[in-house]
């Protein structure tokens, strides 16, 4: 199958998915600040054990994905890569790294 | 026909088009993103491993340290003032050592700097060079404020008896937050370099990707702080 010049247009940086507007960036920032405020307030409420740790970890994860997805444009760039091998490799590597990290920490925690 | 079955004329047109795009954008990638950006993501992946290792080391070291303090190991107890150790024994964690309101303010400053960084990228992409200079300056200033706060925090901790070579907690804490601070400092230097380019008129819309890549680094540093703030400062 012959490649034409027109076909290759979609393979270049030219077809970036639209990045957020200035207003959307401000909204993400407000959300991040609000989550940080809730995190700090939660840590002062006196909850202990899982009741303290799990909500904090959830809020941390949401903040992580907000910064990576919106500010680092990962959400928009992955749209371009959707369905390609790279996307699978990207998420596969994240999953593998997370699993290895959890296994190492668990080996210390449970003295395996 | 070429070896792979493409008519010679079409192949030549394809190559010419590729070269034209490379000339226009400075990159070409069959993945849809520029090679520079992909390479930078790869670099950030290696940085994840570095900070993952540092955070894990901190968690394991602090657990060990608190265990030793609670068990009353005299060699560990001698590494910090008695009142600090008593508080650690009483609460079963080192978190009483931290000034959470102060660190929260630092977190706010770093989050704000991420916003100003994306606004700088947006401004340069749209050819708004005055806006680019303003937002880049704001980012560098906010980053410097964060670093000043970290230096102040380190000074306070040192005076309270937490030394780098004192115990596991001190070593792990200063190594983790120190590495993060060093990354922020490198980010500030890159921002200053961008500002110099902007003031010399060398930062035009065609260099927007350079700003985006330095922005990626800056946001990565912010993301790492999001993890450190919760895992080190908030979770006992």
Q: With bands split at pLDDT 50, 70 and 90, how would you rate the model's confidence at A1?
A: very low
Q: In terms of domains, do A36 and A59 share one?
A: yes
Whole-number pLDDT of residue A34: 96
Q: In terms of domains, do A66 and A91 share one?
A: no
**What digits encode the pLDDT tens for the residues B122-162?**
999 999 999 999 999 999 999 999 999 999 999 999 998 89
In this prediction the pTM is: 0.81
Cβ distance A5 to B17 less than 8 Å, yes or no, reads: yes
Q: How far is CA B44 from the centre of its chain?
A: 10
| CATH number assigned to the domain with residue range B34-234, chosen from the 4 options 3.40.718.10, 1.10.10.10, 1.10.150.120, 1.20.120.80 | 1.20.120.80
Domain residue spans of chain B: 1-30, 34-234
pLDDT surpasses 90 at B82: no
Q: In terms of domains, do A48 and A64 share one?
A: yes
Number of structural domains in chain A: 2
Q: With bands split at pLDDT 50, 70 and 90, how would you rate the model's confidence at A56?
A: very high
B63 vs A94: CA distance, rounded Å: 26
Average pLDDT over residues A5-30: 65
Residue A52 lies in a domain: yes
Residue A61 lies in a domain: yes
Residue A5 lies in a domain: no
Enumerate the residues of chain B whose CB falls inside 8 A of the CB of residue A24: none
pLDDT surpasses 50 at A5: no
Contact B101, A44 (CB under 8 A): no
Whole-number pLDDT of residue B35: 84
Distance from the B37 Cα atom to the nearest Cα atom in chain A, whole angstroms: 10
pLDDT surpasses 90 at B193: yes
CA-wise closest residue to A64 among B115, B121, B60, B230: B230
Q: What is the ipTM of this complex?
A: 0.81
Q: With bands split at pLDDT 50, 70 and 90, how would you rate the model's confidence at A8?
A: very low
Q: Which residue of A has its CA nearest to B10?
A: A4
Q: In terms of domains, do A24 and A53 share one?
A: yes
A–B CB contacts, 8 A cutoff, strictly below = 132
- Return the higher-pLDDT residue of A63 and A4: A63
pLDDT surpasses 90 at B188: yes
Q: In terms of domains, do A48 and A85 share one?
A: no
Enumerate the residues of chain B whose CB falls inside 8 A of the CB of residue A101: 52, 56
Whole-number pLDDT of residue A106: 78
Q: In terms of domains, do A72 and A85 share one?
A: no
Q: In terms of domains, do A64 and A87 share one?
A: no
Whole-number pLDDT of residue A47: 83
Q: With bands split at pLDDT 50, 70 and 90, how would you rate the model's confidence at A42?
A: very high
Cβ distance A25 to B219 less than 8 Å, yes or no, reads: no
Average pLDDT over residues B200-208: 89
DSSP string over B169-236: HHHHHHHHHHHHHHHHHHHHHHHHHHHHHHHTT---GGGHHHHHHHHHHHHHHHHHHHHHIIIIII--
Query: Choosing among B118, B187, B228, which should be mutated to test the A contact, i.e. which has the most A CBs within 10 A?
Result: B118
Distance from the B118 Cα atom to the nearest Cα atom in chain A, whole angstroms: 6
Contact A12, B28 (CB under 8 A): yes
Cβ distance B107 to A52 less than 8 Å, yes or no, reads: no
Cβ distance B111 to A36 less than 8 Å, yes or no, reads: yes
Q: H or E stretch including B137? A: helix B129-159
pLDDT surpasses 60 at A14: no
Q: In terms of domains, do A100 and A89 share one?
A: yes
Residue A10 lies in a domain: no
Whole-number pLDDT of residue B232: 93
Average pLDDT over residues B81-87: 88
CA-wise closest residue to B51 among B179, B194, B222: B179
Cβ distance A67 to B226 less than 8 Å, yes or no, reads: yes
Q: In terms of domains, do A42 and A68 share one?
A: yes
């Amino acid at each position: 199958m012959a490649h034409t010049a027109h076909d290759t247009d979609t393979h270049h940086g030219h077809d970036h998915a639209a990045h957020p507007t200035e207003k959307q960036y401000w909204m993400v920032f407000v959300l991040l600040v609000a989550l940080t405020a809730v995190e700090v307030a939660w840590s002062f409420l006196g909850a202990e054990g899982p009741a303290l740790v799990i909500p904090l970890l959830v809020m941390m994860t949401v903040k992580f994905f907000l910064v990576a997805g919106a500010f680092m444009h990962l959400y928009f760039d992955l749209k371009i890569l959707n369905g390609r091998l790279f996307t699978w490799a990207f998420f596969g590597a994240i999953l593998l790294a997370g699993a290895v990290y959890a296994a190492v920490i668990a080996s210390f925690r449970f003295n395996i | 026909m070429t070896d792979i079955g493409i008519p010679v004329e079409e192949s030549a047109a394809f190559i010419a088009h590729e070269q034209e795009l490379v000339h226009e954008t400075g990159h070409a990638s069959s993945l849809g993103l520029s090679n520079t950006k992909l390479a930078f993501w790869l670099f950030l992946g290696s940085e994840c491993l570095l900070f993952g290792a540092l955070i894990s080391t901190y968690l394991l070291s602090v657990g060990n340290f608190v265990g030793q303090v609670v068990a009353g190991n005299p060699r560990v107890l001698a590494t910090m003032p008695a009142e600090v150790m008593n508080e650690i024994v009483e609460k079963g964690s080192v978190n009483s050592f931290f000034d959470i309101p102060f660190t929260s303010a630092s977190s706010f400053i770093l989050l704000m700097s991420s916003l100003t960084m994306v606004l700088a990228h947006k401004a340069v992409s749209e050819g708004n060079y005055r806006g680019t200079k303003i937002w880049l300056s704001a980012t560098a200033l906010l980053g410097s404020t964060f670093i000043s706060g970290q230096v102040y925090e380190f000074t306070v901790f040192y005076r309270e008896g937490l030394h780098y070579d004192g115990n596991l907690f001190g070593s792990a804490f200063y190594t983790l937050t120190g590495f993060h601070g060093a990354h922020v400092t490198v980010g500030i230097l890159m921002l200053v370099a961008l500002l110099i380019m902007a003031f010399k008129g060398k930062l035009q819309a065609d260099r927007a990707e350079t700003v985006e890549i330095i922005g990626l680094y800056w946001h990565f540093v912010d993301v790492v702080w999001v993890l450190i703030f919760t895992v080190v400062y908030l979770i006992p």
